[in-house]
Amino acid sequence: MKKLVLASVGVAVLLFTGCSQKNPNVDMTTKNQKIEKVNNTNGMNSNTNGMNSNNMDSNNMSSNKTPENNENTVKYLIANLESKLAPIYFDFDKYNIRADMKPVVESSATILDGDKAQKLSIKVEGNADEWGTDEYNYALGLKRAKKVKDELGVLGVSTDRMMIISYGESNPVCTEHNKVCWQKNRRVEFKLLP
Amino acid sequence: MIKKILMILVLSSVIFAADATVEIVKKLNSLPKIAVQDASDNNVDITLRKKFFKIIVGDLRVSAHFRPLDEYLKSSYEGDVKDNFLSKKGVDLILRFKLSLEKQNLMATVKLINASSGVVDSETNYKLENKRRFPFLAHRIVVSVNDAIGAPSIKWMEQFVIFAKYTGKKESEIVVSDYTLSFQKTLVKGGLNIFPIWANDAQTAFYYSSYNGYLPTLFKVDLTNGTRDKIISSKGMLVCSDVSKDGTKLLLTMAPNDQTDIYQYDLRYKQLKRITKYPGIDVNGNFIDNDKKIIFISDRLGYPNIFSKGIDGNSGIEQMVYRGKNNNSVSTMGNYIVYSSRDKSSEFGSKVFNLYLISTNTDYIRQLTANGRNIYPRFAKGKDTIMFIKQYKNQSSLGIIRLNANKSFLFPLKVGKIQSIDW
């Protein structure tokens, strides 16, 4: 008899309690701030307190804004200055500033230390290409931003005005999969904040 | 005959489990051939029935303990001689399922039939409260059938996977899914929300990094009550890369002084302890040795490689891998280390990032992948299964490697690019 020796033939009723435990009703208690939409696994609730991803650009940075500057004037000034600031590019898997990028850093220092920019804060954003694991890429982007911040400090820009952040590979300027594109994404760029 | 097959299967798994770094190729013919039959009520949507069938067949194949037939077969639940023997197809076992709907519940009755004797070896009823989760019901059935024949456990199939996917510039979502991505539910959306990791084995809570406030911030979301709590913020970057076994400590990569290092955060006392102090890059900490040491990635040799260090700070740093010039992510399970390594110096090489498995007890290195970019490996709760992210020809997929069977499977993501995973 080729009968399998198996476990019981009985009938069991199984409730999928493991799944149904995940029954959250997300309580978004944060006040006065837009926050991410968080759903529960059952898809019953979706509180839309949607965080604005640009909040990082505008909250809590030291503000030396003079009262007479209205918002539009500051926006125009920032847009004008940012248009003059070129990205600083890096080699694959490197965070040292290349020789050909040093003039770009020097030019950036001149603009950032100039009278018009003096009252603005500077966000130095590091970025990486799509290669490698993202956690390492976030660290790589941060090292790039740190190198640029340090170099700007040496060139006279107050480090108190600068904060660094890395976006890893999450903020590409080019999404094609080729060498030119990857080079464009391995970069540090600046955002100015009131 | 089937007894012998099963005995060989069980014994071989025990033997092979002794060292997963040794590559094993099992003889396919030693596995029992199984047919899956759909005996569902006609009022159950045929699309659901076919999806259910497909997941069950896929699970049986991924288990590496069966040879499933791909042919979609219908039968009555009781069956007749033709249904219960399938002699023309040379089948050893028949898995017959009958789906039915009762309000919002999805019910399933499942028989495992010996195709040689026609005898029903087991019969089980299942009830699923949310029919959207039917992939987990299919996984549960296959786990039970696998247990019924005495094969090594594949309970990892029931684990929830949590992953982040990029959907645009500085935009990502956090999604919970099954391991095949057949079930997906978005948990967090809006802005840049990344690096989700389960907070406990029960998968009732998770941590993730939000880049949407002034500083990168780690949040914990409790899925049982829906609350979200802020844990800690850092300048520069913030990633939770591992959670201790008891859930009380986190390994964080953060840069409070503009310098990326690995920190241990004790949730009970809200104490932060800096573990690495190298002026380059230290990331991706993983607890080992009963949470007394960590394994991590560092560029202290001028390229990313894998090192270990005691948490107490008294022990030195030990290089763990002596192969490759770009080993950029790592995961551990007991004595095993799986890591991703860049295989060619050129960024255009046909071989790019491959996964390797090593044991701290042996000198063996086993290559697990052959092409594409294979990154972010993560062990399942057992040592026999690894999940990873594969980027290949603009396609982002979850990959599963069954170590003892020397097989791998890919589950493509339709929209977006997978950023990180945990399960």
Q: Cβ B283–A15 below 8 Å, yes or no?
A: no
Query: Are B78 and B118 members of one domain?
Result: yes
Model pLDDT, residue B87: 78
B313 shares a domain with B387: yes
Question: Could you give the ipTM of this predicted complex?
Answer: 0.86
B376 to A133: CB separation less than 8 angstroms, yes or no: yes
pLDDT in tens, B318-362: 999 988 888 999 998 888 899 999 887 555 455 588 999 998 777
CA–CA separation, B352 vs B344, rounded Å?
A: 6
Number of domains in chain B: 2
What is the residue type of A28? M
Domain ranges, residue B40: 2-153
All residues of chain B having their beta carbon less than 8 Å from the beta carbon of residue A29 are: 227-228
- Distance of residue B298 Cα from the nearest chain A Cα, in angstroms: 9
CA angle at B194 for the pair A53 and A145, rounded to the nearest 5° = 70
- Please indicate, yes or no, whether residues B116 and B197 belong to a single structural domain of this protein: no
Average pLDDT for chain B: 89
* B144 in the same domain as B206: no
Q: Are residues B208 and B252 in the same domain?
A: yes
Of the residues B153, B184, B203, the one at which a domain ends:
B153
Query: Using one digit for the tens of pLDDT, what is the confidence trace for B273-330?
Result: 999 999 999 999 999 988 899 999 999 999 999 999 999 867 789 999 988 888 999 9
Boundary-marking domain end, from B128, B153, B178: B153
Which of B153, B175, B197 terminates a domain? The answer is B153
Return the residue of B nearest to A138 by Cα. B237
Q: Chain B: residue nearest A56 by CA?
A: B214
H/E element, B166: strand B161-168
Verify whether the Cβ–Cβ distance A170 to B237 is below 8 Å.
no
Distance CA A81, CA A114 (A): 10
Instruction: State the Cα–Cα distance between residues A152 and A109, nearest whole angstrom.
Output: 6
pLDDT score, position A66: 53
Global pTM reads 0.84
Give φ, ψ of B149 to 5 degrees: -90, 0
At residue A37, the pLDDT reads: 62
Between the ranges A33-42, A103-112, B339-348, B375-384, where is the mean pLDDT highest?
A: A103-112
Q: What is the CATH number of the domain that holds B138?
A: 3.40.50.10070
Alpha carbon of B55: minimum distance to chain A alpha carbons (Å) = 18
pLDDT at B20: 63
Q: Pick from A11, A15, A19 the residue to mutate for testing the B interface (most B CBs within 10 Å).
A: A19
pLDDT in tens, B188-202: 999 999 999 999 999
User: Is B213 close to A14, i.e. CB distance below 8 A?
Assistant: no
Residues in A closer than 8 angstroms to B123, CB to CB, are: 9-11
**Helix H or strand E segment including A81:** helix A71-84
